[in-house]
Structure 1
Protein backbone atom coordinates (compact mmCIF):
# COMPACT_ATOMS: atom_id res chain seq x y z
CA UNK A 1 0.00 0.00 0.00
CA UNK A 2 1.26 3.49 -0.83
CA UNK A 3 2.21 5.87 1.97
CA UNK A 4 -0.72 7.95 3.13
CA UNK A 5 -0.63 11.54 4.28
CA UNK A 6 -1.28 12.11 7.96
CA UNK A 7 -4.73 13.63 7.46
CA UNK A 8 -5.70 10.64 5.32
CA UNK A 9 -4.39 8.17 7.92
CA UNK A 10 -6.25 9.91 10.75
CA UNK A 11 -9.48 9.96 8.75
CA UNK A 12 -9.16 6.25 7.97
CA UNK A 13 -8.17 5.45 11.57
CA UNK A 14 -11.20 7.30 12.90
CA UNK A 15 -13.46 5.45 10.48
CA UNK A 16 -12.10 2.05 11.53
CA UNK A 17 -12.38 2.78 15.24
CA UNK A 18 -15.90 4.23 15.12
CA UNK A 19 -17.25 1.44 12.91
CA UNK A 20 -16.43 -1.04 15.66
CA UNK A 21 -16.67 0.76 19.02
CA UNK A 22 -15.11 -0.79 22.13
CA UNK A 23 -13.10 -3.23 20.02
CA UNK A 24 -9.37 -3.24 20.76
CA UNK A 25 -7.24 -2.82 17.63
CA UNK A 26 -3.54 -3.53 17.98
CA UNK A 27 -0.94 -1.02 16.88
CA UNK A 28 0.37 -3.67 14.48
CA UNK A 29 -3.01 -3.72 12.77
CA UNK A 30 -2.63 -0.04 11.89
CA UNK A 31 1.07 -0.20 11.04
CA UNK A 32 0.39 -2.98 8.52
CA UNK A 33 -2.82 -1.40 7.26
CA UNK A 34 -1.23 2.00 6.63
CA UNK A 35 2.37 0.89 5.94
CA UNK A 36 3.60 3.22 8.67
CA UNK A 37 5.92 3.01 11.69
CA UNK A 38 4.50 2.39 15.15
CA UNK A 39 5.74 5.80 16.31
CA UNK A 40 3.85 7.43 13.44
CA UNK A 41 0.65 5.58 14.34
CA UNK A 42 1.07 6.62 17.98
CA UNK A 43 1.23 10.26 16.93
CA UNK A 44 -1.86 9.81 14.74
CA UNK A 45 -3.79 8.29 17.64
CA UNK A 46 -2.89 11.22 19.91
CA UNK A 47 -4.28 13.66 17.33
CA UNK A 48 -7.41 11.54 16.80
CA UNK A 49 -7.92 11.30 20.55
CA UNK A 50 -7.79 15.08 20.97
CA UNK A 51 -10.20 15.54 18.06
CA UNK A 52 -12.75 13.06 19.42
CA UNK A 53 -12.71 14.69 22.85
CA UNK A 54 -12.95 18.19 21.40
CA UNK A 55 -16.01 17.20 19.36
CA UNK A 56 -17.49 15.42 22.40
CA UNK A 57 -18.00 12.18 20.45
CA UNK A 58 -16.62 9.92 23.18
CA UNK A 59 -13.00 8.99 23.82
CA UNK A 60 -10.17 6.97 22.35
CA UNK A 61 -8.45 4.78 24.93
CA UNK A 62 -5.05 3.15 24.67
CA UNK A 63 -4.41 -0.15 26.45
CA UNK A 64 -0.87 -1.13 27.39
CA UNK A 65 0.58 -4.62 27.63
CA UNK A 66 0.86 -7.63 25.35
CA UNK A 67 -2.88 -7.64 24.63
CA UNK A 68 -3.03 -3.87 24.37
CA UNK A 69 -3.97 -1.54 21.60
CA UNK A 70 -6.48 1.22 21.03
CA UNK A 71 -10.27 1.44 21.06
CA UNK A 72 -12.98 4.02 20.56
CA UNK A 73 -15.53 4.38 23.37
CA UNK A 74 -18.71 6.12 22.15
CA UNK A 75 -20.35 8.39 24.69
CA UNK A 76 -23.13 10.91 24.65
CA UNK A 77 -22.66 13.98 26.77
CA UNK A 78 -25.26 14.78 29.41
CA UNK A 79 -26.41 17.73 27.34
CA UNK A 80 -26.82 15.66 24.17
CA UNK A 81 -28.47 12.81 26.08
CA UNK A 82 -30.99 15.19 27.62
CA UNK A 83 -31.70 16.77 24.24
CA UNK A 84 -32.17 13.33 22.66
CA UNK A 85 -34.52 12.06 25.39
CA UNK A 86 -36.66 15.19 25.16
CA UNK A 87 -36.87 14.81 21.38
CA UNK A 88 -37.74 11.13 21.80
CA UNK A 89 -40.52 11.80 24.30
CA UNK A 90 -41.96 14.45 21.97
CA UNK A 91 -42.13 11.85 19.20
CA UNK A 92 -44.05 9.46 21.42
CA UNK A 93 -46.51 12.21 22.38
CA UNK A 94 -47.74 12.61 18.82
CA UNK A 95 -51.53 12.15 18.81
CA UNK A 96 -51.63 9.85 15.80
CA UNK A 97 -49.54 7.27 17.69
CA UNK A 98 -52.45 6.33 19.96
CA UNK A 99 -54.07 3.10 18.82
CA UNK A 100 -57.38 1.53 19.80
CA UNK A 101 -57.11 -0.10 23.20
CA UNK A 102 -54.64 2.41 24.59
CA UNK A 103 -51.60 1.11 22.71
CA UNK A 104 -48.83 3.32 21.32
CA UNK A 105 -47.49 2.86 17.80
CA UNK A 106 -43.71 2.50 18.27
CA UNK A 107 -42.43 0.53 15.29
CA UNK A 108 -41.21 3.44 13.17
CA UNK A 109 -39.22 4.84 16.09
CA UNK A 110 -37.70 1.54 17.17
CA UNK A 111 -36.73 0.66 13.59
CA UNK A 112 -35.13 4.02 12.83
CA UNK A 113 -31.38 3.27 12.55
CA UNK A 114 -30.40 6.72 13.83
CA UNK A 115 -32.72 6.60 16.86
CA UNK A 116 -31.84 2.99 17.68
CA UNK A 117 -28.16 3.87 17.43
CA UNK A 118 -28.55 6.75 19.90
CA UNK A 119 -30.53 4.58 22.31
CA UNK A 120 -27.80 1.96 22.11
CA UNK A 121 -25.14 4.55 22.93
CA UNK A 122 -27.08 5.74 25.99
CA UNK A 123 -27.47 2.20 27.35
CA UNK A 124 -23.85 1.34 26.54
CA UNK A 125 -22.65 4.47 28.34
CA UNK A 126 -24.62 3.57 31.47
CA UNK A 127 -23.24 0.03 31.65
CA UNK A 128 -19.79 0.55 30.16
CA UNK A 129 -17.92 -0.29 33.37
CA UNK A 130 -19.82 -3.53 34.00
CA UNK A 131 -17.69 -5.62 31.60
CA UNK A 132 -20.73 -7.02 29.81
CA UNK A 133 -20.30 -10.28 27.87
CA UNK A 134 -23.72 -10.38 26.15
CA UNK A 135 -26.72 -8.17 25.52
CA UNK A 136 -29.90 -10.22 25.98
CA UNK A 137 -33.40 -9.46 24.77
CA UNK A 138 -36.59 -11.35 24.05
CA UNK A 139 -38.08 -11.86 20.61
CA UNK A 140 -39.94 -8.55 20.27
CA UNK A 141 -39.78 -5.00 18.91
CA UNK A 142 -36.82 -4.30 21.18
CA UNK A 143 -34.39 -6.18 18.93
CA UNK A 144 -33.11 -3.08 17.03
CA UNK A 145 -32.20 -1.14 20.18
CA UNK A 146 -30.67 -4.29 21.67
CA UNK A 147 -28.57 -4.78 18.55
CA UNK A 148 -27.30 -1.19 18.67
CA UNK A 149 -26.45 -1.56 22.36
CA UNK A 150 -24.53 -4.75 21.62
CA UNK A 151 -22.67 -3.00 18.81
CA UNK A 152 -21.72 -0.09 21.05
CA UNK A 153 -20.39 -2.53 23.67
CA UNK A 154 -18.79 -4.83 21.05
CA UNK A 155 -20.49 -7.93 22.45
CA UNK A 156 -22.87 -10.53 20.93
CA UNK A 157 -26.64 -10.11 21.00
CA UNK A 158 -28.63 -13.05 22.36
CA UNK A 159 -32.32 -13.29 21.49
CA UNK A 160 -34.60 -15.38 23.69
CA UNK A 161 -37.36 -17.00 21.63
CA UNK A 162 -41.02 -17.26 22.53
CA UNK A 163 -40.98 -20.81 21.19
CA UNK A 164 -38.15 -23.31 20.75
CA UNK A 165 -36.88 -23.78 17.18
CA UNK A 166 -35.24 -26.86 15.75
CA UNK A 167 -32.48 -24.71 14.22
CA UNK A 168 -31.42 -23.65 17.73
CA UNK A 169 -30.44 -27.18 18.76
CA UNK A 170 -30.98 -28.24 22.41
CA UNK A 171 -32.74 -25.45 24.31
CA UNK A 172 -33.66 -24.42 27.82
CA UNK A 173 -37.33 -23.48 28.21
CA UNK A 174 -39.01 -21.88 31.20
CA UNK A 175 -42.49 -20.65 32.03
CA UNK A 176 -43.00 -17.21 33.52
CA UNK A 177 -45.96 -15.11 34.60
CA UNK A 178 -46.47 -11.71 32.99
CA UNK A 179 -46.61 -8.97 35.58
CA UNK A 180 -49.55 -7.10 34.06
CA UNK A 181 -51.94 -9.76 32.71
CA UNK A 182 -50.78 -12.63 34.98
CA UNK A 183 -50.75 -14.95 31.98
CA UNK A 184 -48.31 -17.84 31.79
CA UNK A 185 -45.86 -17.47 28.91
CA UNK A 186 -42.92 -19.55 27.69
CA UNK A 187 -39.44 -18.50 26.62
CA UNK A 188 -36.65 -20.63 25.18
CA UNK A 189 -32.94 -20.21 24.60
CA UNK A 190 -30.33 -22.42 22.95
CA UNK A 191 -27.91 -24.06 25.37
CA UNK A 192 -25.08 -22.80 23.16
CA UNK A 193 -26.14 -19.15 23.35
CA UNK A 194 -24.44 -18.09 26.58
CA UNK A 195 -21.39 -19.38 28.41
CA UNK A 196 -21.75 -20.15 32.11
CA UNK A 197 -20.59 -17.40 34.42
CA UNK A 198 -21.14 -14.63 31.86
CA UNK A 199 -22.29 -11.13 32.72
CA UNK A 200 -25.27 -9.93 30.70
CA UNK A 201 -27.20 -6.74 30.08
CA UNK A 202 -30.93 -7.13 29.41
CA UNK A 203 -32.45 -4.61 26.97
CA UNK A 204 -36.15 -4.31 26.12
CA UNK A 205 -38.48 -1.77 24.57
CA UNK A 206 -41.25 -1.63 27.19
CA UNK A 207 -41.85 -2.50 30.83
CA UNK A 208 -45.11 -2.35 32.74
CA UNK A 209 -44.85 -4.62 35.78
CA UNK A 210 -41.58 -6.29 34.83
CA UNK A 211 -42.82 -9.84 34.24
CA UNK A 212 -40.81 -10.37 31.06
CA UNK A 213 -37.64 -8.94 32.64
CA UNK A 214 -38.15 -11.22 35.64
CA UNK A 215 -38.55 -14.16 33.26
CA UNK A 216 -35.28 -13.28 31.53
CA UNK A 217 -33.55 -13.06 34.91
CA UNK A 218 -34.85 -16.53 35.77
CA UNK A 219 -33.65 -17.81 32.40
CA UNK A 220 -30.17 -16.43 33.05
CA UNK A 221 -30.02 -18.39 36.31
CA UNK A 222 -30.32 -21.56 34.23
CA UNK A 223 -27.07 -20.52 32.51
CA UNK A 224 -25.43 -19.38 35.78
CA UNK A 225 -25.16 -15.93 34.20
CA UNK A 226 -25.18 -12.68 36.17
CA UNK A 227 -27.62 -9.95 35.12
CA UNK A 228 -25.59 -6.77 35.53
CA UNK A 229 -28.54 -4.53 34.70
CA UNK A 230 -31.71 -4.02 32.71
CA UNK A 231 -32.26 -1.18 30.26
CA UNK A 232 -35.74 -0.41 28.93
CA UNK A 233 -36.80 2.30 26.55
CA UNK A 234 -40.16 2.99 28.23
CA UNK A 235 -41.34 2.03 31.71
CA UNK A 236 -44.82 2.82 33.00
CA UNK A 237 -45.14 4.94 36.10
CA UNK A 238 -47.65 2.45 37.54
CA UNK A 239 -47.29 0.03 39.13
CA UNK A 240 -44.43 1.70 40.97
CA UNK A 241 -43.29 -1.63 42.37
CA UNK A 242 -41.90 -3.73 39.53
CA UNK A 243 -40.96 -7.39 39.66
CA UNK A 244 -37.33 -6.36 39.07
CA UNK A 245 -35.28 -3.65 40.73
CA UNK A 246 -32.02 -3.24 38.82
CA UNK A 247 -33.41 -1.45 35.77
CA UNK A 248 -33.15 1.97 34.18
CA UNK A 249 -35.65 3.45 31.74
CA UNK A 250 -35.09 6.25 29.27
CA UNK A 251 -38.73 7.39 29.24
CA UNK A 252 -41.57 7.16 31.76
CA UNK A 253 -45.14 6.61 30.59
CA UNK A 254 -47.34 8.40 33.10
CA UNK A 255 -50.68 7.64 31.48
CA UNK A 256 -52.89 7.71 28.41
CA UNK A 257 -56.14 9.62 27.92
CA UNK A 258 -57.89 7.97 24.97
CA UNK A 259 -60.76 10.48 25.01
CA UNK A 260 -58.42 13.45 24.67
CA UNK A 261 -55.99 11.49 22.51
CA UNK A 262 -53.18 12.41 24.87
CA UNK A 263 -50.06 10.39 25.70
CA UNK A 264 -48.35 11.51 28.88
CA UNK A 265 -44.73 10.49 28.60
CA UNK A 266 -41.61 12.17 29.96
CA UNK A 267 -37.85 11.69 29.66
CA UNK A 268 -36.27 10.06 32.69
CA UNK A 269 -33.63 12.68 33.40
CA UNK A 270 -32.54 10.85 36.56
CA UNK A 271 -30.28 8.70 34.37
CA UNK A 272 -28.14 11.78 33.71
CA UNK A 273 -26.95 11.63 37.31
CA UNK A 274 -23.83 9.64 38.14
Structure 2
Protein backbone atom coordinates (compact mmCIF):
# COMPACT_ATOMS: atom_id res chain seq x y z
CA UNK A 1 0.00 0.00 0.00
CA UNK A 2 1.30 3.45 -0.85
CA UNK A 3 2.18 5.92 1.85
CA UNK A 4 -0.70 8.10 2.96
CA UNK A 5 -0.49 11.76 3.83
CA UNK A 6 -0.97 12.82 7.44
CA UNK A 7 -4.39 14.27 6.64
CA UNK A 8 -5.47 10.97 5.11
CA UNK A 9 -4.21 8.99 8.09
CA UNK A 10 -5.94 11.29 10.57
CA UNK A 11 -9.21 11.02 8.63
CA UNK A 12 -8.97 7.22 8.63
CA UNK A 13 -8.08 7.00 12.33
CA UNK A 14 -10.94 9.33 13.27
CA UNK A 15 -13.47 7.30 11.31
CA UNK A 16 -12.28 3.95 12.67
CA UNK A 17 -12.35 5.14 16.28
CA UNK A 18 -15.77 6.78 15.86
CA UNK A 19 -17.22 3.59 14.39
CA UNK A 20 -15.80 1.47 17.24
CA UNK A 21 -16.57 3.37 20.47
CA UNK A 22 -15.09 2.02 23.68
CA UNK A 23 -13.17 -0.66 21.78
CA UNK A 24 -9.41 -0.80 22.27
CA UNK A 25 -7.63 -0.53 18.92
CA UNK A 26 -3.95 -1.46 18.87
CA UNK A 27 -1.20 0.65 17.33
CA UNK A 28 -0.19 -2.42 15.32
CA UNK A 29 -3.62 -2.45 13.69
CA UNK A 30 -3.36 1.18 12.58
CA UNK A 31 0.29 0.77 11.59
CA UNK A 32 -0.44 -2.17 9.30
CA UNK A 33 -3.65 -0.72 7.89
CA UNK A 34 -2.17 2.70 7.12
CA UNK A 35 1.36 1.52 6.28
CA UNK A 36 2.99 3.82 8.82
CA UNK A 37 5.51 3.52 11.63
CA UNK A 38 4.11 3.23 15.16
CA UNK A 39 5.78 6.48 16.15
CA UNK A 40 4.08 8.26 13.25
CA UNK A 41 0.70 6.70 14.11
CA UNK A 42 1.14 7.78 17.73
CA UNK A 43 1.65 11.39 16.62
CA UNK A 44 -1.46 11.15 14.44
CA UNK A 45 -3.51 9.86 17.36
CA UNK A 46 -2.39 12.76 19.54
CA UNK A 47 -3.71 15.15 16.89
CA UNK A 48 -7.03 13.27 16.72
CA UNK A 49 -7.28 13.31 20.52
CA UNK A 50 -6.68 17.06 20.71
CA UNK A 51 -9.26 17.81 18.00
CA UNK A 52 -11.88 15.59 19.67
CA UNK A 53 -11.40 17.33 23.01
CA UNK A 54 -11.39 20.85 21.58
CA UNK A 55 -14.65 20.24 19.72
CA UNK A 56 -16.28 18.37 22.65
CA UNK A 57 -16.71 15.25 20.54
CA UNK A 58 -15.51 12.93 23.30
CA UNK A 59 -12.17 11.56 24.44
CA UNK A 60 -9.45 9.40 22.94
CA UNK A 61 -7.71 7.44 25.69
CA UNK A 62 -4.42 5.58 25.53
CA UNK A 63 -4.39 2.12 27.11
CA UNK A 64 -0.97 1.02 28.36
CA UNK A 65 0.40 -2.52 28.36
CA UNK A 66 0.98 -5.36 25.93
CA UNK A 67 -2.72 -5.54 25.02
CA UNK A 68 -3.11 -1.77 25.01
CA UNK A 69 -3.80 0.76 22.33
CA UNK A 70 -6.33 3.55 22.06
CA UNK A 71 -10.08 3.83 22.40
CA UNK A 72 -12.65 6.50 21.67
CA UNK A 73 -15.24 7.45 24.31
CA UNK A 74 -18.16 9.39 22.79
CA UNK A 75 -19.45 12.43 24.67
CA UNK A 76 -20.81 15.93 24.15
CA UNK A 77 -20.49 19.08 26.22
CA UNK A 78 -22.73 19.83 29.20
CA UNK A 79 -24.16 22.81 27.32
CA UNK A 80 -25.09 20.66 24.31
CA UNK A 81 -26.67 18.05 26.59
CA UNK A 82 -28.78 20.73 28.24
CA UNK A 83 -29.86 22.21 24.91
CA UNK A 84 -30.83 18.74 23.70
CA UNK A 85 -32.90 18.12 26.84
CA UNK A 86 -34.63 21.51 26.53
CA UNK A 87 -35.51 20.86 22.88
CA UNK A 88 -36.79 17.39 23.77
CA UNK A 89 -39.01 18.87 26.48
CA UNK A 90 -40.43 21.32 23.96
CA UNK A 91 -41.15 18.51 21.48
CA UNK A 92 -42.92 16.37 24.06
CA UNK A 93 -45.00 19.19 25.52
CA UNK A 94 -47.04 19.46 22.32
CA UNK A 95 -50.65 18.99 23.46
CA UNK A 96 -51.43 16.88 20.40
CA UNK A 97 -49.21 14.13 21.85
CA UNK A 98 -51.70 13.31 24.63
CA UNK A 99 -53.56 10.08 23.80
CA UNK A 100 -56.44 8.43 25.73
CA UNK A 101 -55.35 7.47 29.23
CA UNK A 102 -53.12 10.54 29.50
CA UNK A 103 -50.28 8.72 27.78
CA UNK A 104 -47.72 10.66 25.72
CA UNK A 105 -47.15 9.63 22.10
CA UNK A 106 -43.40 9.08 21.72
CA UNK A 107 -43.02 6.61 18.85
CA UNK A 108 -41.78 9.21 16.38
CA UNK A 109 -39.21 10.40 18.93
CA UNK A 110 -37.91 6.91 19.62
CA UNK A 111 -37.45 6.16 15.92
CA UNK A 112 -35.80 9.46 15.03
CA UNK A 113 -32.12 8.56 14.39
CA UNK A 114 -30.74 11.99 15.35
CA UNK A 115 -32.65 12.20 18.62
CA UNK A 116 -31.93 8.62 19.65
CA UNK A 117 -28.26 8.90 18.68
CA UNK A 118 -27.69 11.94 20.91
CA UNK A 119 -29.79 10.49 23.74
CA UNK A 120 -27.70 7.32 23.53
CA UNK A 121 -24.49 9.29 24.01
CA UNK A 122 -25.93 11.21 26.97
CA UNK A 123 -27.18 8.11 28.78
CA UNK A 124 -24.06 6.08 28.00
CA UNK A 125 -21.84 8.83 29.44
CA UNK A 126 -23.30 8.11 32.88
CA UNK A 127 -22.02 4.53 32.82
CA UNK A 128 -18.50 4.84 31.41
CA UNK A 129 -16.94 4.36 34.85
CA UNK A 130 -18.90 1.18 35.59
CA UNK A 131 -17.78 -2.30 34.56
CA UNK A 132 -20.63 -3.43 32.27
CA UNK A 133 -21.05 -6.59 30.22
CA UNK A 134 -24.28 -5.78 28.40
CA UNK A 135 -27.25 -3.46 28.01
CA UNK A 136 -30.68 -4.99 28.62
CA UNK A 137 -34.01 -3.71 27.32
CA UNK A 138 -37.52 -4.99 26.61
CA UNK A 139 -38.83 -5.51 23.05
CA UNK A 140 -40.66 -2.24 22.75
CA UNK A 141 -39.98 1.36 21.67
CA UNK A 142 -36.86 1.50 23.84
CA UNK A 143 -34.88 -0.87 21.60
CA UNK A 144 -33.33 1.84 19.34
CA UNK A 145 -32.22 3.85 22.38
CA UNK A 146 -30.81 0.78 24.11
CA UNK A 147 -28.93 -0.12 20.92
CA UNK A 148 -27.29 3.31 20.81
CA UNK A 149 -26.27 3.06 24.47
CA UNK A 150 -24.83 -0.42 23.93
CA UNK A 151 -22.92 0.79 20.86
CA UNK A 152 -21.40 3.72 22.75
CA UNK A 153 -20.43 1.48 25.65
CA UNK A 154 -19.01 -1.13 23.29
CA UNK A 155 -21.07 -3.98 24.78
CA UNK A 156 -23.73 -6.46 23.71
CA UNK A 157 -27.44 -5.57 23.59
CA UNK A 158 -29.77 -8.15 25.13
CA UNK A 159 -33.51 -7.91 24.42
CA UNK A 160 -36.04 -9.39 26.83
CA UNK A 161 -39.26 -10.62 25.20
CA UNK A 162 -42.84 -10.30 26.37
CA UNK A 163 -43.62 -13.74 24.94
CA UNK A 164 -41.58 -16.88 24.32
CA UNK A 165 -40.31 -17.46 20.78
CA UNK A 166 -39.66 -20.98 19.49
CA UNK A 167 -36.63 -19.70 17.58
CA UNK A 168 -35.02 -18.55 20.84
CA UNK A 169 -34.64 -22.06 22.23
CA UNK A 170 -34.87 -22.70 25.99
CA UNK A 171 -35.89 -19.58 27.90
CA UNK A 172 -36.25 -18.35 31.45
CA UNK A 173 -39.59 -16.68 32.18
CA UNK A 174 -40.86 -14.76 35.18
CA UNK A 175 -44.04 -12.98 36.18
CA UNK A 176 -43.80 -9.43 37.47
CA UNK A 177 -46.23 -6.78 38.65
CA UNK A 178 -46.60 -3.63 36.57
CA UNK A 179 -45.90 -0.68 38.83
CA UNK A 180 -48.43 1.58 37.10
CA UNK A 181 -51.39 -0.76 36.55
CA UNK A 182 -50.71 -3.43 39.19
CA UNK A 183 -51.33 -6.14 36.59
CA UNK A 184 -49.27 -9.33 36.47
CA UNK A 185 -47.23 -9.54 33.26
CA UNK A 186 -44.65 -11.89 31.82
CA UNK A 187 -41.12 -11.50 30.47
CA UNK A 188 -38.68 -14.08 29.17
CA UNK A 189 -35.07 -14.32 28.07
CA UNK A 190 -33.32 -17.04 26.08
CA UNK A 191 -30.76 -18.93 28.14
CA UNK A 192 -28.15 -18.36 25.42
CA UNK A 193 -28.62 -14.57 25.57
CA UNK A 194 -26.80 -13.91 28.81
CA UNK A 195 -23.81 -15.44 30.56
CA UNK A 196 -24.00 -16.09 34.26
CA UNK A 197 -22.40 -13.41 36.38
CA UNK A 198 -23.00 -10.61 33.87
CA UNK A 199 -23.21 -7.00 34.99
CA UNK A 200 -25.99 -5.21 33.14
CA UNK A 201 -27.73 -1.87 32.81
CA UNK A 202 -31.37 -1.50 31.83
CA UNK A 203 -32.32 1.13 29.23
CA UNK A 204 -35.89 2.14 28.36
CA UNK A 205 -37.82 4.99 26.77
CA UNK A 206 -40.21 5.83 29.62
CA UNK A 207 -40.36 4.84 33.28
CA UNK A 208 -43.68 5.05 35.06
CA UNK A 209 -43.46 3.30 38.43
CA UNK A 210 -40.47 1.07 37.68
CA UNK A 211 -42.30 -2.26 37.50
CA UNK A 212 -40.51 -3.32 34.31
CA UNK A 213 -37.11 -2.37 35.74
CA UNK A 214 -37.89 -4.37 38.89
CA UNK A 215 -38.91 -7.31 36.69
CA UNK A 216 -35.64 -7.05 34.76
CA UNK A 217 -33.72 -7.13 38.03
CA UNK A 218 -35.57 -10.28 39.13
CA UNK A 219 -35.03 -11.90 35.73
CA UNK A 220 -31.29 -11.18 35.87
CA UNK A 221 -31.16 -12.87 39.26
CA UNK A 222 -32.28 -16.08 37.52
CA UNK A 223 -29.09 -15.83 35.45
CA UNK A 224 -27.02 -15.09 38.57
CA UNK A 225 -26.41 -11.69 37.00
CA UNK A 226 -26.61 -8.17 38.40
CA UNK A 227 -28.42 -4.97 37.46
CA UNK A 228 -25.88 -2.20 38.08
CA UNK A 229 -27.69 0.77 36.54
CA UNK A 230 -30.88 2.09 34.96
CA UNK A 231 -31.20 4.77 32.29
CA UNK A 232 -34.38 6.13 30.71
CA UNK A 233 -35.20 8.90 28.29
CA UNK A 234 -38.20 10.15 30.30
CA UNK A 235 -38.84 9.52 34.00
CA UNK A 236 -42.40 9.90 35.30
CA UNK A 237 -41.70 11.74 38.56
CA UNK A 238 -45.44 12.15 39.12
CA UNK A 239 -45.58 8.49 40.17
CA UNK A 240 -46.04 8.47 43.94
CA UNK A 241 -44.00 5.32 44.53
CA UNK A 242 -41.15 3.93 42.47
CA UNK A 243 -40.25 0.25 42.65
CA UNK A 244 -36.59 1.04 41.92
CA UNK A 245 -34.39 3.70 43.46
CA UNK A 246 -31.29 4.58 41.46
CA UNK A 247 -31.85 5.67 37.86
CA UNK A 248 -30.68 8.24 35.33
CA UNK A 249 -33.00 10.14 33.01
CA UNK A 250 -32.66 12.95 30.48
CA UNK A 251 -36.01 14.66 31.11
CA UNK A 252 -38.88 14.27 33.57
CA UNK A 253 -42.62 14.00 33.03
CA UNK A 254 -44.54 15.82 35.74
CA UNK A 255 -48.20 15.89 34.75
CA UNK A 256 -50.96 16.41 32.20
CA UNK A 257 -53.58 18.88 33.39
CA UNK A 258 -57.31 18.90 32.62
CA UNK A 259 -56.76 21.05 29.54
CA UNK A 260 -54.20 18.63 28.11
CA UNK A 261 -51.14 20.74 28.90
CA UNK A 262 -48.06 18.56 29.37
CA UNK A 263 -45.57 19.53 32.06
CA UNK A 264 -42.01 18.35 31.32
CA UNK A 265 -38.76 19.45 32.94
CA UNK A 266 -35.05 18.72 32.81
CA UNK A 267 -33.78 15.88 34.96
CA UNK A 268 -31.38 16.18 37.86
CA UNK A 269 -28.48 15.85 35.40
CA UNK A 270 -28.94 19.56 34.64
CA UNK A 271 -29.85 20.93 38.08
> Partner of 1:126: helix, strand, or coil?
coil
Where structure 1 has 5 or more consecutive residues not aligned to the other structure, the ranges are none
Task: Give the TM-score, by structure 2 length.
Answer: 0.97
Instruction: Give the 5 Å matches for 1:75-154.
Output: 75-154=75-154
User: Is structure 2 residue 259 aligned with structure 1 residue 260?
Assistant: yes
1:238, distance to aligned residue in structure 2 (A): 2.3
After alignment, is 141-150 or 89-98 more displaced?
A: 89-98
Shift of 1:19: 1.1
Provide the C-alpha distance between the structure 1 equivalents of 2:48 and 2:115, rounded to a whole number of angstroms. 26
Query: What residue is the counterpart of 2:220 in the other structure?
Result: 220
Contact 2:134-2:158 within 8 A present in 1 as well: yes
**Deviations for 1:107-145, whole angstroms, at most 9, x for unmatched residues?**
111101111111111111001110211000011100010
- C-alpha separation in 2, matches of 1:248 and 1:206: 11
The two structures, once aligned, show a CA RMSD in angstroms of 1.1
**Does 1:178 pair with 2:213?**
no
Q: Report Cα offsets for 1:22-73 as digits up to 9, x if no partner.
A: 1111111101110111111000001111111111111100101111011110
Per the normalisation by structure 1, the TM-score is: 0.96
CA distance in 1, matches of 2:55, 2:251: 27
What is the Cα deviation at residue 272 of structure 1?
4.1
In structure 2, the residue matched to 1:190 is 190
User: Aligned equivalents of 1:241 and 1:250: distance in 2?
Assistant: 20
Unaligned runs of 5+ residues in structure 2 are: none
Question: Would you say how many aligned residue pairs link Structure 1 and Structure 2?
Answer: 271
CA 1:34–1:55 in structure 2 vs 1: closer, same or farther (change >3 Å)? Answer: same
Moved over 6 A (4+): none
Tell me, in whole angstroms, the C-alpha distance in 2 between the residues paired with 1:62 and 1:235.
36
